[in-house]
Structure 1
Amino acid sequence: MSDVNWTALSIFVLLFGFVTWLGFVAANWRRGDLDLLHEWGLGGRRFGAVITWFLLGGDLYTAYTFIAVPALAFGAGAIAFFAVPFTIVSYPVFFLVFPRLWQVCHRHHYITAGDFVRGRFGNRWLALAVAVTGIVATMPYIALQLSGLQVVISALGISGTGVAADLPLLIAFLILAAFTYSSGLRAPASIAIVKDILVLVTAFAAVIVIPIQLGGFGRIFAAVPSAKILLAAPGANTTGAYSAYATLALGSGLAIFLYPHSLTGILSASSGGAVRRNAALLPAYSLLLGLLALLGFFAIAAGVATLPEYADGFRRFGNNFAVPALFLHSFPAWFAGIAFAAIGIGALVPAAIMSIAAANLYTRNIHREFIRKTPTDRQEAQMAKRVSLIVKFGALVFIVFVPTQYAVYLQLLGGIWIIQILPAVMLGAYTSWFNGWALLVGWAAGTAVGTAMAVAVNLTPTFPLHVAGYVFPGYAALYTVILNIALVVVLTPLFNALGARGTILDATVSSDYHA
């Protein structure tokens, strides 16, 4: 680890330099006035089905996915494969809900989920809750992208202490900040094409070359401890790992497209048809995700954790170093450089989209709603650009000065928090029956109880729910969103009867939701 891998580093820098150039010139791609927020923050809503496919793929399948999913398989085994069915669950939901949401947002010029909720339910405090939830849930996600980049930089042999250790990450941050500020969403949209091609090449090369090196899949699975191959059988009076796996898949599938960066990618599409076509095309990434998860088993079979040359990497980054160590062990240096560039660029794309999405939320649903109600178009866009820089800087500070494990904890909490906007956003795409204040109470209760559940189990995602002598370990996010919806259904008629403001303030009409 002390020696720089100059061949891999050269390839990495060359590809990184190319996407940096691409990020800056993207400002001229489908040129628009970047002093308008919808041009800077949504690419002018002009991305067709193919570009949207790459953008959403770059958005959802990130550097952290490339690192963390195989790391979970490496450390915990079969439970990591919940990531595959969760994406399969998410796409039917995507097909049913988000073309409708795109349609109404397009007609009313809504830029964020907060804008939609404000128009649908006429409650600016509910819109504020949606915005704050989105921003808070996104921040640790950005930090984890930078964390993935940090792992790759270390794998290239660049190490040190103090400023020297963090300098490459700081340079990457400055590049990210500069092209996001200058080009807006066009930058990650263009870079996502390069990123996805590199990821596909790396993933398919890995699942062909590495099994050949290791003697085939039979030998690989024989080398994996049996406890990691299958979920543990449930004990008496408990559903054990089975319910944990199922609820993680279902809860994650319901939550993933509620994240601001996902919605930003969706709302940048040129038509509802482009959104629907992506619901059909995006499952191709599920195959890729399954292949990535297998890399964890490959790393076990290759025995990379026992090799002395990778000891420092595992000491610093734990199981997250499994994939970089596997690539260094299995590929020639030039291809390792390509693989590491795929992961590094896979950090830039989602981090850029996430910072843009968070900036859009702050600008539209906090600053414009509560601080400066009538900004000019240019002032609004400039505010979003400045906030995007602040968001990225905050994530950088977090990674440099706070142990990465805390970012992981916050990201796990983020999943519990973001799903609490499901009733207002997803169900709101179908009905305005809910009372805005009831939705706000449901959101608050779900957030508070979900946080308490996570704290009670030391910030792990599954909570043992005790019911009538049985224990149902499950994803706290799913349990709490059920509580949230139940409260909304019960409180809506009560609040309406008490005269609290309800659906009479709906700014949308039924025809807005159909092409």
Structure 2
Amino acid sequence: MDAHLTEIIIFSALFLLVSGMGFVAARWRRPENLASLDEWGLGGRNFGSWVTWFLVGGDLYTAYTFVAVPALLWGAGAMGFFAVPYTIVVYPIVFLVLIRLWSVSHVHGFVTPADFVRARFGSPTLALLIAITGIVATMPYIALQLVGIEAVLKSMGVTGHLPIIIAFAILAAYTYQSGLRAPALIAFVKDTLIYIVILVAIFAIPAQIEGGWSGIFDAAQAKFDASPAPGDGNLLNANNQLQYVTLALGSALALFLYPHSITGVLASRNRDVIKRNMSALPAYSLLLGLIALLGFMAIAAGIKPIGTDNNTIVPQLFDKMFPDWFTGVAYAAIGIGALVPAAIMSIAAANLFTRNIYKEYLKPHASDADEARVSKITSLLVKVGAVLCILFLDTGFSIDLQLIGGVIILQTLPSVALGLYTRWFHRSGLIAGWVAGMGAGMLLLYNIGNPVTGKLHFAGSAFPLEKLGLDTKMTIYAGVLALAVNLAVAALGTVIARAMKTVEGVDTTQPDHYFADEGDPRIKDLDLAPHGAHRTDPAPDPKP
């Protein structure tokens, strides 16, 4: 540990600095009362363009970006680049969805996507399923952030569970106190550090490798030509190209279905803020492409992981190629890059539990203060669930944690994303589709093994089509198959429900609600809402 003393000191100093900012954030743009989900969980719904840009960027570009993607390139070659096209196509797609969701949510006071589903389809049961899905899908995503912090600690020679528990406790404490304002404020520091570290890395590391960039790509090519694992000598071939395409598309469809992504967007001041951010956020995609190349740099530099932990590839690269003081800065960038999204994710999952389980089923007349208190406590429990994900899921390539979460959250697409445009689906059909899609997704994931680690189940998201009886070696992203099952059953269930004249839920939204903006009389001041009430609570309808 003495050899890493400088790194530990700088890492600890920056970590404590942002933690202090997390606690101070409770006073940043402080309202008279933080005891409501609109304030604690959505920052007062009043973030402008700059704050939203850093918040959403800090939310979406996580330890998945800084640790998992380069590790995948180091181990599997070009397959790891799927993250680049996926973050390019995602913004035009979500542009069509999020603006409508922002408007209808601000008219009705929705805090979660399940709130919208409850009002759109008049089904508390469907809303419950959406809430549970969001919570479960978020668990492995938070776990991925903890894996990123753990990889940095290992590279500094810090072993054992105590340091990660301390980091977890600090994160839990300032999230509990400050809510969404904490990650919003810390995101400024996190993104600045990340940009500095990556811009230095793409110039400094190739300068130290013989042949520069040419040498880096030659070394990567030589490694994968010598290894049949990723593609029988080729980085991408006929067997994994379908997986590459469906993984990129499926990940793009899943990204803004995650509750934490929606939370960042709903905290925006108006529709123009969202439009500007969807136009500017692709700047992070350029950064992601550069970060991915760290995996190839690690090959050329002869980097080996610590033990069998592939997630330590990037920290080990920084340790070898940077002076100790800058390595400490780089480690802090990764650690803080994990804290920001972990905080937002736990808040979003807690809001789902509070609004769509606690208030819907346990205490219907809960006050604003009750909701805020329950969300704070739940945000702590969510982090505990994330730790359990690390213990029970294969984290050889930590990116699999996010991909497994993607398979789960994709099952909310028919109700949330399509529901913003059409009311054609019957609530009974959507429930049947969710059950079928989730069952299919879990079955597919159960049958995905990892021959390298010997893990037989839940070891990735690339499903071999030969297991469906097809005579092929091709693989496909399990999430896309599960979503196809979901949509097919939802459509069939809708036709059957209508043929049987099954009662439909009442849609309490109106077409013009999806176009409302700041200053619109339909968007009332949050402070004018009756205590403990939504501005437009949907009338209770019978559960299907």
TM-score, L = length of structure 2: 0.87
1:273 aligned onto 2:272? yes
Tell me which residue corresponds to 2:533: none
Tell me which residue corresponds to 1:213: 208
Tell me which residue corresponds to 2:352: 361
1:183 aligned onto 2:178? yes
1:495 partner amino acid: A
Deviates more, 1:338-347 or 1:149-158: 149-158
Cα gap change, 1:283 to 1:467, in 2 (>3 Å): farther
1:222 aligned onto 2:222? no
1:425 aligned onto 2:425? no
Asked if 1 retains the 8 angstrom alpha-carbon contact of 2:144 and 2:401, the reply is: no
1:509 aligned onto 2:510? yes
Cα gap change, 1:10 to 1:394, in 2 (>3 Å): same
Asked if 2 retains the 8 angstrom alpha-carbon contact of 1:233 and 1:241, the reply is: no
Tell me which residue corresponds to 1:162: none
Asked if 1 retains the 8 angstrom alpha-carbon contact of 2:68 and 2:398, the reply is: no
Asked if 2 retains the 8 angstrom alpha-carbon contact of 1:9 and 1:337, the reply is: yes
Separation (CA, whole Å) in 1 of partners of 2:152 and 2:137: 24
Q: Secondary structure at the match of 1:20?
A: helix
- Per the TM alignment, residue 500 of structure 1 is displaced from its structure 2 partner at its CA by 2.1
Asked if 2 retains the 8 angstrom alpha-carbon contact of 1:210 and 1:298, the reply is: yes
Asked if 1 retains the 8 angstrom alpha-carbon contact of 2:433 and 2:486, the reply is: yes
Tell me which residue corresponds to 2:38: 38
Identity, % of aligned pairs? 51
Q: Secondary structure at the match of 1:77?
A: helix
Cα gap change, 1:510 to 1:461, in 2 (>3 Å): same
1:51 aligned onto 2:51? yes
Cα displacement string for residues 400-420 of structure 1 (whole angstroms, at most 9, x for unaligned residues) = 788745986654332111101
2:114 partner amino acid: G
Cα gap change, 1:409 to 1:501, in 2 (>3 Å): farther
Cα gap change, 1:252 to 1:234, in 2 (>3 Å): farther
- Alignment map for 1:368-447 (pairs within 5 Å): 368-396=359-387, 399=390, 404=395, 411-447=402-438
Separation (CA, whole Å) in 2 of partners of 1:114 and 1:401: 28
Separation (CA, whole Å) in 2 of partners of 1:134 and 1:79: 27
- Per the TM alignment, residue 21 of structure 1 is displaced from its structure 2 partner at its CA by 1.2
1:6 aligned onto 2:5? yes
Asked if 2 retains the 8 angstrom alpha-carbon contact of 1:234 and 1:242, the reply is: no
Separation (CA, whole Å) in 2 of partners of 1:364 and 1:281: 32
Separation (CA, whole Å) in 1 of partners of 2:427 and 2:23: 42
Q: 5+ residue gaps in structure 2?
A: 450-457, 517-544
1:489 aligned onto 2:491? yes
- Alignment map for 1:345-356 (pairs within 5 Å): 345-356=336-347
- Per the TM alignment, residue 203 of structure 1 is displaced from its structure 2 partner at its CA by 0.8
Tell me which residue corresponds to 1:125: 125
- Per the TM alignment, residue 256 of structure 1 is displaced from its structure 2 partner at its CA by 0.9
Q: Secondary structure at the match of 1:224?
A: helix
2:498 partner amino acid: N
Cα gap change, 1:482 to 1:400, in 2 (>3 Å): closer
Tell me which residue corresponds to 2:531: none
Q: 5+ residue gaps in structure 1?
A: 160-164, 306-312
1:452 aligned onto 2:443? yes
Separation (CA, whole Å) in 1 of partners of 2:324 and 2:232: 42
Asked if 2 retains the 8 angstrom alpha-carbon contact of 1:234 and 1:241, the reply is: no
RMSD: 2.2
Asked if 2 retains the 8 angstrom alpha-carbon contact of 1:233 and 1:240, the reply is: no
Cα gap change, 1:428 to 1:366, in 2 (>3 Å): same
- Per the TM alignment, residue 60 of structure 1 is displaced from its structure 2 partner at its CA by 1.1
Asked if 2 retains the 8 angstrom alpha-carbon contact of 1:234 and 1:240, the reply is: no
1:388 partner amino acid: S
- Per the TM alignment, residue 393 of structure 1 is displaced from its structure 2 partner at its CA by 2.8
- Per the TM alignment, residue 397 of structure 1 is displaced from its structure 2 partner at its CA by 5.3
1:498 aligned onto 2:500? yes
Separation (CA, whole Å) in 2 of partners of 1:436 and 1:245: 33
Cα gap change, 1:134 to 1:401, in 2 (>3 Å): closer
- Per the TM alignment, residue 10 of structure 1 is displaced from its structure 2 partner at its CA by 1.4
1:37 partner amino acid: L
Which of 306, 309, 317 is the aligned partner of 1:314? 306
Tell me which residue corresponds to 1:463: 463
Cα displacement string for residues 102-144 of structure 1 (whole angstroms, at most 9, x for unaligned residues) = 1101110000010000000011111111000110111121122
Separation (CA, whole Å) in 2 of partners of 1:469 and 1:71: 31
Asked if 1 retains the 8 angstrom alpha-carbon contact of 2:69 and 2:399, the reply is: no
Separation (CA, whole Å) in 2 of partners of 1:397 and 1:279: 34
Cα displacement string for residues 16-61 of structure 1 (whole angstroms, at most 9, x for unaligned residues) = 1111111111111111221011100000111112111111111111
Cα displacement string for residues 134-184 of structure 1 (whole angstroms, at most 9, x for unaligned residues) = 10111121122111111111212223xxxxx22211211111111101100
Asked if 2 retains the 8 angstrom alpha-carbon contact of 1:166 and 1:400, the reply is: no
Q: Secondary structure at the match of 1:505?
A: coil
Separation (CA, whole Å) in 2 of partners of 1:17 and 1:68: 24
Cα displacement string for residues 431-464 of structure 1 (whole angstroms, at most 9, x for unaligned residues) = 1111111011111111111111122222321223
